[in-house]
Amino acid sequence: MSLRSRAAARDGPRIQGEIVTSPATSAASPADLPEYAPVPAIAKGAPLNEHGYHVRQVERNLYAVTDNVYMSAFLTTPDGVVIFDAPPNIGHNIRRAVDEVTTANGVTNQVTHMVYSHHHADHQGASFLFGGDIVRIGHEETRRLLLRDGDAARPVPDVTFSDSYTLEVGGEHVELAWHGPNHSPDNIYIHFPGHDTLMFIDVVNAGWIPIYNLNLSDDVIGYSGAPAIALDYPWTHLISGHLGRVATREDVALHQQYIADIEASSREALASVNPGPIFQHYGENVWAAVRAYLDAVTEHAAAPVIAKYTGVLGGADIDIYTWTTTFAIMQSIRLDRGPSGPVHP
């Protein structure tokens, strides 16, 4: 059975862009849904309150708020609150978390600034809730992409930068930097030097593997190299944008090992899976042969990684996640790093 057929047969939903849809011919019932390995302790977030969120003090006046799927952050200062990303999944709970913390600490709850980590709507789609009287800051590519997208829920940044920018508010300073494309063309590193924290979104998932295609990332090489850049910063806490736990440096190292294992397994599979019999079988139907060959390479490469990380990282046994990430990495090895195959004599 091919990679796509196995994924459809096991998991039901199919991928269309970034949207997961179920087959139109049937509605899944709980009895039809697949079962997976228990979630390891390393992947579990904190219990949520009655509003469906958890707010954690990261360091001093820096806080993270999560619904255990997405994560945002905010910094309270005497001159106002700075919000870092506004995922619609958390939505109005960002405001509730800010009010909860500022009331308890007797400081202003006025939001004065918002920083965009990157342009994606799943991280910025609640920005509009904070109105037009705040200063929004992002990379210059974020502004370009938001002007292109024309989404009123994500007002374009007022302040942009190309390489680096230091935000100073209420005696605090935050260092923003762009080190090249990774998950997206505009994804930045947000460093809180006074809080021993880095915020870097959509690359490392604390305690979990990436979902489809390296977290739906645009640039495989940039994505794979980004954790090393993150580790060059001095920090103890990493706010990674998803799931319920603030990450550690050990989480980043484990993520790097997972990706390195996929890369090594992909190289071995490319060297060992023989395309000859597949192409001979399909004859003139070249695309059928290509599909069968690439499916075979991907499954050969992904299988040992799935086995190794099941029970170690959350989601490791959801085969299609590692399959699609392996496919993306394997194609990058062929197309970006080369060679794509032997040169015809």
Using one digit for the tens of pLDDT, what is the confidence trace for 225-235?
999 999 999 99
Answer whether the bond into residue 155 is a cis peptide, omega within 30°.
no
In a domain, 9, yes or no: no
Sign of the torsion formed by the C-alpha atoms of 319, 325, 328 and 332: negative
Is the pLDDT score of 17 beyond 50? no
Instruction: Provide the domain count of the chain.
Output: 2
Predicted local confidence at residue 344, as pLDDT: 66
84 lies in the same domain as 155: yes
**How high does pLDDT run on average in the chain?**
92
In a 3-state reduction of DSSP, which class is residue 30?
Answer: helix
Q: Are residues 313 and 208 part of one domain?
A: no
Claim to verify: residue 115 and residue 208 sit in the same structural domain: yes
Using CA atoms, how far apart are residues 57 and 259, in angstroms rounded to an integer?
30
Residue 26 clears pLDDT 80, i.e. is over it: no
Residue 12 located in a structural domain: no
Task: Judge contact between 82 and 119, C-beta under 8 A.
Answer: no
Q: Are residues 242 and 322 in the same domain?
A: no
Convert 199-226 to b/e letters by CB count within 10 Å (16 or more is b).
bbbbbbbbbbbbbbbbbbbebbebbbbb
Triad 182, 216, 20: Cα angle to 5°: 165
- Structural domain containing residue 174: 42-247
Residue 273 sits in the same domain as residue 303:
yes
Mean pLDDT of 67-76: 97
Confidence at residue 13, expressed as pLDDT on a 0 to 100 scale: 42
Say what the pLDDT of residue 3 is.
56
Considering the domain architecture, whether residues 180 and 268 belong to the same structural domain is answered as no
Look at strands 14-16 and 19-21 and give their pairing.
antiparallel
Candidates 214, 181, 242, 188; CA nearest to 43 is 242
Indicate if 46 and 101 belong to the same structural domain. yes
Listed residues 216, 247, 278: the one ending a domain: 247
Residue 232 CA to residue 59 CA, distance in Å, equals: 20
What torsion, rounded to 10 degrees, do the Cα atoms 199, 200, 201, 204 define? -110
Q: Are residues 122 and 216 in the same domain?
A: yes
